[in-house]
Structure 1
Amino acid sequence: MSKSSPTVTMARIAEAAGVSKATVSRALGGSSLIGGPVVSHVKAVAEKMGYVRRNQRRHSERSILTIKLVLPPSASRTANLFYSLFDLVDGLREGLSPSGANIIVETAGKDYVPFPHKKGGEVDAFVFAFHRPPAAVFEEIKEKGAKCLVLNRVVRGVRQVVSDHRDAMRQVAEHLSSKGVAGNCCFVGYRGIEDVMRMRVQGFTEGCAANGITFEAKEDVWIADSPEEIKCETIKAEYERGVRVFVGVNDVVGSLLIQQLHELGYKIPHDILVTGCDNSPLCDVIIPRLTTVDLSIRTLAMRAGRNLHAGIVNGVESEQSILVRGELLIGETT
């Protein structure tokens, strides 16, 4: 055919070939980012559909992937204590190598729009970190042919790289058992992180059962409305109830427990043991050093980058869900 059919677009070729629109554009344009088998497949589909690429001037082969990293809305003053943005971006960039990466950092909100401008350039993939956007956002990204991945949240039908929360708390329980703990534990969390709470409580419950520690989730879990609501009065009441181990759902809770216990005059770990989870930047300034589990954000982001690179550049679709195991870090609070 001398002319392409007006209905044969890159979007239609992408749908027929089972790849993204960006992949079609690169394959037909001779980009070095796309592997040979993928190029051959896309060109064969395009030729069969009667597509003829218009002559275009190209300055050079583009070897940079454009990734939108979407962070959760920062409604809480403690949000920046959970992770290092540097580790997140650097890990993602490392995982995307050897391709270069143009990483655009955005903050989500209830009215988040993934493609605010019609001519805003190609976006190869979206990474939603530590939150779950509305289903309509995922649908729009899918329609545009971009890849999508979620960090540390479970979303049905969407690729995800998740810290192994259950295993982390099983490690905590095993460590407490090695310290002679047989019961009298209180797991402390708060509302608004239900996914993480559920998995970590489940993991700690499993770990206690495996290590002979008496723990009943219905009786021994304290859920505050927010981290700021973890106060001396309730901590003292729990201690008087017989609690001798406080297990924080994360390091923010662990640090608050240490602070409040100090104010109450209790000695750690002589009078009571405290643990956290995540090994967040906060751990660098907590005294005494908090026993925690290193759920490395850098490793999480790197695995996400590798997954995206394989899908975008090589057309290889790997696991739908990737679990990243953490490592127990024994501090001075147990």
Structure 2
Amino acid sequence: MSVTIKDVAKKAGVSPSTVSRVLSNHPRISRETSRRVKDIMEELGYHPNIMAKSLVSKTTESICVILPKPAEELFLNLFFMELIRGIVAQANRAGYDVLISSGGNEKEEVEAVSRLLHGRRVDGAILLYSRQDDPVVNFLKTHDYPFVLVGRSDSYPDILSVDTDNVQAAYDATRHLIAQGHERIGFVSGPPNLVVSKDRLEGYNRALSDCGIAMRKDWIVEGEFLQDSGYRAMSFFMNLPERPTALVIVDDIVSFGVLRGLHELGYKVPEDVSIISFNNISLTELSTPPLSSVDIGIYNLGYTASQALIQNIRHDGSSVLPNRYVIPHRLMIRESSMYSMPRSL
């Protein structure tokens, strides 16, 4: 015979309604009571009926994370792994489960989100990317579903979002290279439809302009957030009649491809080309040479996104919640950009 909520309540010396409140993480239940009830649940082997609970409470206590690409490609970039780690840590703390959803293209992403939300399998969604004219964002806005965007939206500046000031971050990274004496600075960008690519390119351009350095379109290369994009960019840059002496690179993973390409072509970092990138993933300190990178607080981005979404799901409308959170960044300067007298290439 299965254990019921009444059995747990009797054993713990509380009412069945108290057990229900423990299951829903009600804020008025003390930690001591919550711990005692949960210990009894474990002792008796009690498992709540999630489907029945969902019907009564009208909440699934689950959120979904929408991946921007097929998972097998996405997980090649440690940025997303660290982001998801932060999301899951906060969701678990709040008593929420996390579902992962992905699609091969924008249409499949919208279909996946529609199934999850129309089918009431999740209470809200986290988008790990920000695209211009994003159909997923449009769908969520149209149907008034709770969601949070990691990044910012040009189309909907008022939506709930968690971001780094990527314009300022790229500005600071570029000014660092200028302070080292560089004037011939290139930029390795990401996909042009992503807002993060646009913002980091804008910060790069502003820094050059403020220092009286002309921006050169032939020193800007677009690609994906993959090593191969950085590798291909080096074949392009190093075949130019006049080459950059320094590079701002949109992502650490792309930088590893840049390092590989430069090494195969016989160039040294930072003696021939100084580089600085973004995200400060754990491998940046282990590369040869160690990479200068902008730490954007990846874990905090994920943690705050999860916290903001769940807070909005539970919000009763009695107060006004903020709709934008900005995680501070900092430059982590290492050997790859510390060369103040670059020689002519």
* TM-score with structure 2 setting the length: 0.68
Query: Does the C-alpha gap of structure 1 residues 252 and 115 become closer, same or farther in structure 2, counting only changes over 3 Å?
Result: same
Q: Structure 1 residue 104 and structure 2 residue 99: aligned?
A: yes
Please give the alpha-carbon distance, in whole angstroms, between the structure 2 residues aligned to 1:79 and 1:117: 22
- Per the alignment, residue 11 of structure 1 pairs with none
Q: What secondary structure is seen at the aligned counterpart in 1 of 2:98? A: strand
Instruction: Tell me which amino acid in the other structure corresponds to 2:238.
Output: K
Shift of 1:325: 2.5
Q: Structure 1 residue 327 and structure 2 residue 330: aligned?
A: yes
Please give the alpha-carbon distance, in whole angstroms, between the structure 2 residues aligned to 1:216 and 1:90: 38
Shift of 1:320: 3.0
* TM-score with structure 1 setting the length: 0.70
Q: Structure 1 residue 189 and structure 2 residue 189: aligned?
A: yes
Please give the alpha-carbon distance, in whole angstroms, between the structure 1 residues aligned to 2:333 and 2:58: 46
- 1:115-194 equivalence runs, <5 A: 115-116=114-115, 120-121=119-120, 123-132=122-131, 137-138=136-137, 141=140, 146-154=145-153, 156-157=155-156, 158-181=159-182, 183-194=183-194
Please give the alpha-carbon distance, in whole angstroms, between the structure 2 residues aligned to 1:137 and 1:190: 20
Instruction: Tell me which amino acid in the other structure corresponds to 2:99.
Output: I
User: Unaligned 5+ residue runs, structure 2?
Assistant: 1-19, 29-51, 338-345
- Per the alignment, residue 234 of structure 1 pairs with 236
Shift of 1:204: 1.4
Give 1 or 2: higher strand fraction: 1
Q: What secondary structure is seen at the aligned counterpart in 1 of 2:61? A: strand
Please give the alpha-carbon distance, in whole angstroms, between the structure 2 residues aligned to 1:251 and 1:79: 14
- 1:293-308 equivalence runs, <5 A: 293-308=294-309
Please give the alpha-carbon distance, in whole angstroms, between the structure 2 residues aligned to 1:313 and 1:236: 54
Give 1 or 2: higher helix fraction: 2
Higher relative contact order (CA 8 A, sep 6+): 1
- Per the alignment, residue 313 of structure 1 pairs with 314
Query: Does the C-alpha gap of structure 1 residues 229 and 147 become closer, same or farther in structure 2, counting only changes over 3 Å?
Result: same
Please give the alpha-carbon distance, in whole angstroms, between the structure 2 residues aligned to 1:58 and 1:254: 48
Please give the alpha-carbon distance, in whole angstroms, between the structure 1 residues aligned to 2:136 and 2:254: 32
Question: Which range moves more in the overlay, 307-316 or 293-302?
Answer: 307-316
In the comparison of the two structures, how many residue pairs are matched? Answer: 282
Please give the alpha-carbon distance, in whole angstroms, between the structure 1 residues aligned to 2:26 and 2:132: 30
User: Unaligned 5+ residue runs, structure 1?
Assistant: 1-28, 37-56
The answer to whether the Cα contact below 8 Å between 1:252 and 1:282 also exists between their aligned partners in 2 is no
The answer to whether the Cα contact below 8 Å between 1:129 and 1:150 also exists between their aligned partners in 2 is yes
Please give the alpha-carbon distance, in whole angstroms, between the structure 1 residues aligned to 2:312 and 2:282: 32
- Per the alignment, residue 73 of structure 1 pairs with 69
Please give the alpha-carbon distance, in whole angstroms, between the structure 1 residues aligned to 2:260 and 2:83: 28
Shift of 1:300: 0.8
Q: Deviations over 1:42-76 (max 9, x none)?
A: xxxxxxxxxxxxxxx86998997311111112288
Q: What secondary structure is seen at the aligned counterpart in 2 of 1:170? A: helix
Please give the alpha-carbon distance, in whole angstroms, between the structure 2 residues aligned to 1:97 and 1:273: 42
Please give the alpha-carbon distance, in whole angstroms, between the structure 1 residues aligned to 2:134 and 2:73: 27
- Per the alignment, residue 24 of structure 1 pairs with none
